Structure 1
């Protein structure tokens, strides 16, 4: 799992379970990968362009376009990534934040990739788009802490009722829930406002506001959309060159 070589697009086969079949990648949309593969095929159909553009670069550009089309900032994409040829589910463990992580665990994981706590908070707002599955947060809305009928006290009670309606006990694991219940298709700073209302879907979301060390950044980014976008641009856009 190298992160920038599109290895997550590679499918499993009879002898290998690939990254995209690891439980941590359950919410990655297969039709999104199909779009990248079709775009790559269209480029390769032009003889002079064949094998000149990688799936990894197409994925990076598609990400930029989705963000821009959803109302977020646009940015230049530095190209030159090489596609990976190896993808194993075993390589995923310990590389991605878990839904039950606290601030210490989140900060440590991002620090191992050269990112600060402020970087981590800003990047967590990727949850302004996308979805998760009920099984990833069911422990917060049913029998929290092993107590029958208990719910996570950090959750907004109205939000709990909504989540329980969409995710009844023993619901099919494939049921998808928007990460941002307010503006799920808009790239904005509503994510941070949701946290202030107790509407972070994961524990790892809500702790960003509940922990006194990260709360000031959450509140600042929740107040100022421009500040949020500037934070992203200054720290991560355009992306660092990625030679896999």
Structure 2
């Protein structure tokens, strides 16, 4: 049975090239509902960090766990993590290392990574960072549906190159308890029916979904950046899912 939790801490983590600013529109709606929500910028994506290009996945995991500590997250008061796109690498590691600190993970057009996988394992070692590609190229990799005309310019102006070390580093997972963390899959650019079928077929990008023990699947039809294309709907979904236990 699903029960309702008191307002948990909600931590929003955006994908590649993005910082906490990417969630501004969603936070506006969440704060209106008095949620305990905050967005974070992962190490490597802070423009003011002179060493940002050298940051690693381990640095990102440490930053999430450090934020847990500052916000009073514990086994008795676990957090809800909302992970978008390429945030799946550090969040998969957080779930593996500290499943007891996560009440629920909400994957936004994303999902858990498999052990040994990396976003760009063949990226040459001499590549220190990967800038945001052109939108022609980006649109071939991820759906731009639903974005208003001003979003690409804002994205381009604020995007931070992704550290090469983060993109190359494989995710090493050892704790099967991560699969028991209550999970919500928000399917945006790929419908849930198609995603679940690929998971059952063992497609590498979706194979971990088949291992989840407690999962809720929701369609939010839009492109790959729902925090910009459907911020109110995404905020309402996050609020609803954050209130669930089990």
Give TM-score, length-normalised by structure 1: 0.31
Larger Rg over CA atoms: 1
Higher share of residues assigned strand: 2
Which structure's relative contact order is higher, taking Cα pairs within 8 Å and 6+ residues apart?
A: 2
Tell me which protein shows more helix as a share of its residues: 1
TM-score (norm 2): 0.31
